[in-house]
Amino acid sequence: MKNSLKVAKWEYKQNMNSKSFIISLFLTPLFFIAFSLFPAVFDALKSEPEPVKVYLHDEIGIRDQAETFLKSQGVKWEIENISTDEVALIKDKLIKEKNSAFVSFSEETLKNGEVKVYTSKKIDKDFNKQVQLLKSPIQRLQIERLNIPEEEMDVLTKGIEIEATPVTEKAEDKTKDPLKRIIPGVFAGVILFSIVITGMMIFQSASQEKKEKVAEIVLSSLTSSELMQGKIIGYFALGITQVFVWILLIIPFIAWKSDIPILEYLIVPETLLLLLIAIAGYLMFAAIFAGIGATIEDVNTAGNFQGFVLLLPWLPLILIKPVSANPEGIIAQIGSYFPLTSPGILIIRLSMMESWPWMEIVISLVILIATIWVLMKLAGKIFKTGMLMYGKNATPKEILKWLFHS
Amino acid sequence: MSKPILSVNQVGKSFKDKRIIENISFDVHKGEIMAILGPNGAGKSTTIRNIMGIMYPDEGSVIFHNQAAGDIPRHTIGYLPEERGLYKKAKIIDLLLYFAELKDYPLKKARKRALEYLAKFGLEGKEKASIEELSKGMGQKVQFIASVIHEPELLILDEPFSGLDPVSQEVFKKEIKELAENGTSILLSSHQMNLVEELCDRLFMINKGKKVIHGVLDDVKKQYANFKCTIRGENDVKTLERISHVQRIEQEGEQFTIYLDAHIKPTSWLRQLPDSINIEELSLDRISLHEIFIDIATGKNALQEAGVQT
C-alpha cells in the first residue's frame, strides 16, 4: 500500500504539473458558466418586442380593470379608445396596419360572453394567449352585475384545479420538492463523470508507460499490482480534485444566478449512498482501463476492441430515455443490475424517484462490488504481463491467454 | 573470495516449447564485477529478468543471501534494464527523486546524490529540464543515475554500454569500477567484449541459453585463450602449415593469422620459425575474448579446435 501511494502521488503530481490538465481543469467550469450566461446575453441583446396596438371599443367601462389585470400579468399593449363611429372603419385600418388589433366589449359580452377581436395579418405571436387573459376581468364584471357579495365572488372567480395524487404506503408530505433528489443526484453524476474521465487517463498512462519503456525500471522497485493500485488511486484523487475545482467555481455562480440553497440539499445522508455508487463506478471502469491500457503500446494503432472499451462508460446514455420516462420500469431495473450501466442508471433513477427501491439498490450494489473484485483480479493479471510486453499491441486472443494461463 | 550476495542455481526458462535458458548457475560476490556475455538472443536479458523477478524461472532458484528465501530485496538492488525509457515529460530531478522514493531512500540524501551525479556526468544545471529535452546519450546517463541513486548493494546493468559514444562509455566504465571498489556488487551483461574485458573480474559466457565459459577473467584468458601469431609478408600457406603446433591459418591478402596449440611456450615456438618465411611485421598475442565471442556467434567452434574443455 505504501508503494501504491508513492505511485499515486507521482501520477497526481505529474498531472497537476501538466499544463493541458490545468487548462482543462479551469476551462470546463468556465465553459459551463459561459454557456449558461449565453441565453441571458442573447435576451439582453434582443430588442423589446413592439407592443401590440389595440383599438378598444368599450361600451361597458371595463378598460381600467382590464388594463390593471393585463399589467399584473406582464402584458403591454398600446390601447387606444375608439368611438362607435370609427368601428365601421376598423377592418380597413387593420388591413393596412401591422401588429394591431381591435377588441370590442359590449353588453353582448356580459350577456353571452362574446368578445369581438380582429387582428391585422401580422401580429405578435403571443397576442392570442394574451387576449385570453381578458376572460378574468370580464367574468368579474359579470358577477358584479349579479350583486353577489365580495367573498362569494372570490370563490367563483378562483377557478377549479384538479390534481391526481398516487396513494403510497407512507404518509406523503404533500410538498413534493424534486430538487431534494435531483441536486444530490446531479452532484453524484458530476463526480462519476469527472472520475471516469480522469480514469480514462489510466488507460493512457499505462499505455504511455509501455511506450516510454519505463515500466521495467519501475517494476524493479515494486510489484505490478502496487503499480496498478497506485495508478487507480492517483487518478481517483485527480478526478476528485477536478470536481472540487468545478464545484468551487460553479456553486457560487449558481447561488448568484438562482436562490436554490444547494448546500442544504447536498448535506443529506442520501448523498453518501450516491457517492458510494459513483466511486464503485469509478473502480470498475478504472480496473478495465488499467488492464486494457497495459495491452496497448501505441494508442493510434489500437484495434477496435481496445477503442470500444473507452466507450463503455457512456453505455447508460442509450438507456437514459426509457429510464427517465419510467424510473421504476423493467429497463430501469435491468440497467441497475447490469454492472456496466449500473452506476449511471442508479444515479439517474435515484435522482428521480421519491421513494427509493432499497432492495434493488442493495442487489445492484452487491453485483457491482462483486464485478469490481473480479475485474480487479483480471486486470491485475493482464497488467502484469501486458506492461512488460514491448513492441506491439496485444490481440484479444493473447489477452485471453494471459487471463487463463498465468 | 568474499561471500556471495546473489546465487543463481541451475535456472531454466522456456517460452512455449522453446528453451530460452537452461542450467544457468553463477554467483555474484560483494564488490566484484561479474559479466554475462553472449551474442544477441543468447539469453542474457532473460537470465537477468529471472533474477529481477520480472519473470519466474521454470526450474532452479535465485537466492539473495541477505534476504529471506523467495524475497527479492528490491530496495537494495539497482537495475538498468535493456529496454531503456523514462517519463518523457517529467523533470530530471523529480524523476530521480521518485525512483529514490520507490526504494525508500531518504529524499534529502537522494537530492544531494542526484546533483552530484548530474555534475559528474556533465549534466550540471539540467536538473529542471525535462527528459524529452535531452539527447539519447544524456537520457541514458539519467537512467544510470536512477539505478544507483539509492546506493544499492547489488547493481544489475543489462547492456549498459549499448548506444553510448566512446566518451560516455569511458565515463560509465570509470563509474562502474568506482562503485565496485566502494563495495557494490555488479552484474552486467554485454555483447561488447572489449569493454568488458577491461572491466570485469569474472565472466559467464552464454550462447543459445547455455553456459560456454565461466570463471575468473585472468584464468579464462590463461586457460582458454591460446596464442595466435600474426605475420605480414609474402608467404605460401603450405610453408606456414608445416610449422609445428599450428592448428589453423586464416589468410587475408598478405596477412596470415596462425592459431597455435594450447600450452606452447611462446619463446620456443618463435625460435623454431624457418628462415624462409618472409616477415614484414610479426605479432604474438592471446586470442581475445572478442574472438572467442565472434567464433561462438558465427557458429565456428574455435574453442573446441583450441582444445578447450567447456
Mean pLDDT in residue range B43-47: 89
Which residue does chain B place closest to A18, by CA atoms?
A: B89
Name the band, by pLDDT with cuts 50, 70 and 90, for residue B309: very low
Identify whether residues B214 and B230 lie together within a single domain. no
Boundary residue ending a domain (A100, A122, A157): A157
Give B87's contacts in chain A (Cβ within 8 Å): 14, 209, 212, 214
Q: Which residue has the higher pLDDT, A5 or A215?
A: A5
Identify whether residues A220 and A283 lie together within a single domain. yes
Identify whether residues A106 and A196 lie together within a single domain. no
Identify whether residues B160 and B252 lie together within a single domain. no
Mean pLDDT in residue range A30-53: 77
**pLDDT, position A168:** 60
Identify whether residues B109 and B247 lie together within a single domain. no
A302 CA: distance to closest CA in chain B (Å): 21
Contact A289, A295 (CB under 8 A): no
Question: What's chain A's length in residues?
Answer: 406
Is A221 an 8 Å CB contact of chain B? yes
Say if B45 falls within a structural domain: yes
Residue from the list A14, A211, A216 with its beta carbon closest to the beta carbon of B81: A216
Say if A317 falls within a structural domain: yes
**pLDDT, position A58:** 86
Q: What percent of chain B has pLDDT over 70?
A: 94
Residue A56 has pLDDT above 80, yes or no: yes
- Helix (H) or strand (E) run with residue A259 in it: none
pLDDT (tens digit per residue) in A347-376? 888 888 878 888 889 999 999 999 998 988
Say if A290 falls within a structural domain: yes
Q: Which residue has the higher pLDDT, B26 or B222?
A: B26
Residue from the list B74, B86, B98 with its beta carbon closest to the beta carbon of A220: B74
Identify whether residues B210 and B271 lie together within a single domain. no
Identify whether residues A135 and A215 lie together within a single domain. no
**pLDDT, position B307:** 43
Identify whether residues B96 and B13 lie together within a single domain. yes
Task: Look at A390 and B83 and tell me if their CB atoms are within 8 Å.
Answer: yes
pLDDT (tens digit per residue) in B268-289? 999 988 888 899 999 998 877 7
**pLDDT, position B82:** 84
Q: What percent of chain A has pLDDT over 90?
A: 7
Say if A265 falls within a structural domain: yes
Task: Look at B102 and A221 and tell me if their CB atoms are within 8 Å.
Answer: yes
Identify whether residues A189 and A153 lie together within a single domain. no
Say if A143 falls within a structural domain: yes
Domain coverage including residue A263: 177-405
pLDDT (tens digit per residue) in A236-257? 899 889 888 888 888 888 778 7
> Which residues, at least 6 apart from A236, have a Cβ–Cβ distance to it below 8 Å?
A195, A198, A199, A279, A282, A286
Name the band, by pLDDT with cuts 50, 70 and 90, for residue B305: very low
Written in H, E and C, the secondary structure of chain B is CCCEEEEEEEEEEEECCEEEEEEEEEEEECCCEEEEECCCCCCHHHHHHHHCCCCCCCEEEEEECCCCCCCCCHHHEEEECCCCCCCCCCEHHHHHHHHHHHCCCCHHHHHHHHHHHHHHCCCCCCCCCEHHHCCHHHHHHHHHHHHHCCCCCEEEEECCCCCCCHHHHHHHHHHHHHHHHCCCEEEEEECCHHHHHCCCCEEEEEECCEEEEEEEHHHHHHHHCCEEEEEECCCCHHHHHCCCCEEEEEEECCEEEEEECCCCCHHHHHHCCCCCCCCCEEEEEECCHHHHHHHHHHCCCHHHHCCCCC
**pLDDT, position A317:** 86
Q: What percent of chain B has pLDDT over 90?
A: 30
Say if B297 falls within a structural domain: no
Decide the pairing of beta strands B4-15 and B18-29.
antiparallel
Identify whether residues A141 and A187 lie together within a single domain. no
Task: Look at B90 and A213 and tell me if their CB atoms are within 8 Å.
Answer: no
Say if A7 falls within a structural domain: no
Contact A215, A373 (CB under 8 A): no
Coil, helix or strand at residue A124: coil
Q: How far apart are CA A361 and CA B72, in angstroms?
A: 45
Identify whether residues B133 and B257 lie together within a single domain. no
Q: Given its phi and psi angles, is residue A202 left (phi above 0), alpha (psi -120 to 50 degrees) or beta?
A: alpha
Is A389 an 8 Å CB contact of chain B? no
Say if B294 falls within a structural domain: no
Identify whether residues A279 and A347 lie together within a single domain. yes
A198 CA: distance to closest CA in chain B (Å): 18
Nearest to A296 by CA among A394, A218, A155, A165: A394
Q: What is the mean pLDDT of chain B?
A: 85
Residue A393 has pLDDT above 80, yes or no: no
Contact B100, B149 (CB under 8 A): yes
Say if B282 falls within a structural domain: yes
Task: Look at A213 and B83 and tell me if their CB atoms are within 8 Å.
Answer: yes
Q: What is the DSSP letter of A123?
A: -
Is A28 an 8 Å CB contact of chain B? no
Q: Total structural domains in chain B?
A: 2
Is A85 an 8 Å CB contact of chain B? no
Say if B302 falls within a structural domain: no
Domain coverage including residue B241: 226-286
Question: What's chain B's length in residues?
Answer: 310
Is A5 an 8 Å CB contact of chain B? no
Q: Total structural domains in chain A?
A: 2
Q: Which of A98-102, A141-145, B28-32, B122-126 has the lowest mean pLDDT?
A: A141-145
Mean pLDDT in residue range A295-317: 77
Identify whether residues A100 and A199 lie together within a single domain. no
Identify whether residues A150 and A262 lie together within a single domain. no
**pLDDT, position A150:** 75
Identify whether residues A343 and A205 lie together within a single domain. yes
Identify whether residues A152 and A213 lie together within a single domain. no
Using the structure block, give the residue that is written with the C-alpha cell 515529460.
B89
Identify whether residues A215 and A144 lie together within a single domain. no
Identify whether residues B59 and B157 lie together within a single domain. yes
B173 CA: distance to closest CA in chain A (Å): 21
Q: Which of A35-39, A63-67, B93-97 has the lowest mean pLDDT?
A: A35-39
Say if A168 falls within a structural domain: no
Q: Which of A321-325, B156-160, B198-202, B295-299 has the lowest mean pLDDT?
A: B295-299
Q: How far apart are CA A106 and CA A116, in angstroms?
A: 9
**pLDDT, position A397:** 77
B56 CA: distance to closest CA in chain A (Å): 11
Q: How far apart are CA B213 and CA B292, in angstroms?
A: 10
**pLDDT, position A113:** 80
Q: Which cell numbers in the block locate residue A354?
A: 421519491
Identify whether residues B239 and B204 lie together within a single domain. no
Task: Provide ipTM, 2 decimals.
Answer: 0.77
Say if A80 falls within a structural domain: yes
Positive or negative, the CA dihedral A228, A232, A233, A234 is positive
Give the CATH number for residue A68: 3.40.190
Is A128 an 8 Å CB contact of chain B? no
Task: Look at A388 and B54 and tell me if their CB atoms are within 8 Å.
Answer: yes
Which residue of B45, B58, B89, B102 to mutate against A (max A Cβ within 10 Å)?
B102
Q: What is the DSSP letter of A314?
A: G
Identify whether residues B102 and B230 lie together within a single domain. no
Which residue does chain A place closest to B53, by CA atoms?
A: A220
Give A3's contacts in chain B (Cβ within 8 Å): 102
Give the CATH number for residue B277: 3.30.70
Mean pLDDT in residue range A302-326: 81
Identify whether residues B130 and B158 lie together within a single domain. yes
Say if B300 falls within a structural domain: no
HSE value, Cβ hemisphere, 13 Å, CA-based, for A169: 2
Boundary residue ending a domain (A111, A128, A157): A157
**pLDDT, position A234:** 92
Which residue does chain B place closest to A1, by CA atoms?
A: B102
Task: Look at B84 and A213 and tell me if their CB atoms are within 8 Å.
Answer: yes
Is A216 an 8 Å CB contact of chain B? yes
Task: Look at A6 and B89 and tell me if their CB atoms are within 8 Å.
Answer: no
Say if A293 falls within a structural domain: yes
Give A14's contacts in chain B (Cβ within 8 Å): 87, 89-90, 94
B148 CA: distance to closest CA in chain A (Å): 12
Identify whether residues B233 and B141 lie together within a single domain. no
Is A390 an 8 Å CB contact of chain B? yes
Residue from the list A10, A18, A211 with its beta carbon closest to the beta carbon of B98: A10
Identify whether residues B140 and B258 lie together within a single domain. no
Mean pLDDT in residue range B81-89: 84
Residue from the list B75, B85, B89 with its beta carbon closest to the beta carbon of A18: B89
Is A214 an 8 Å CB contact of chain B? yes
Say if B95 falls within a structural domain: yes
Mean pLDDT in residue range A251-268: 78
A399 CA: distance to closest CA in chain B (Å): 16
Which residue does chain A place closest to B76, by CA atoms?
A: A221
Is A218 an 8 Å CB contact of chain B? yes
pLDDT (tens digit per residue) in B132-180? 888 888 888 999 999 999 999 999 999 898 888 888 888 899 999 999 9
Contact B26, B8 (CB under 8 A): yes
Q: Which cell numbers in the block locate residue B246?
A: 599450428
Residue B220 has pLDDT above 80, yes or no: no
Give the highest mean pLDDT range of A139-153, A191-205, B110-124, B207-221: B110-124
Which residue of B45, B54, B97, B158 to mutate against A (max A Cβ within 10 Å)?
B54
Residue from the list A14, A213, A221 with its beta carbon closest to the beta carbon of B99: A221
Say if B307 falls within a structural domain: no
Which residue does chain B place closest to A207, by CA atoms?
A: B87
**pLDDT, position B282:** 93
Q: Which of A21-25, A41-45, A204-208, A317-321 has the lowest mean pLDDT?
A: A41-45
pLDDT (tens digit per residue) in A165-212? 766 655 445 456 777 778 888 888 888 888 888 888 888 888 888 878
Q: How far apart are CA A331 and CA A337, in angstroms?
A: 10
Q: How many CB pairs under 8 A join A and B?
A: 54
Which residue of B14, B52, B87, B149 to mutate against A (max A Cβ within 10 Å)?
B87
Identify whether residues A312 and A255 lie together within a single domain. yes
Q: Which cell numbers in the block locate residue A143?
A: 358577477
B81 CA: distance to closest CA in chain A (Å): 6
Boundary residue ending a domain (A129, A157, A185): A157
Residue from the list A3, A6, A212 with its beta carbon closest to the beta carbon of B85: A212
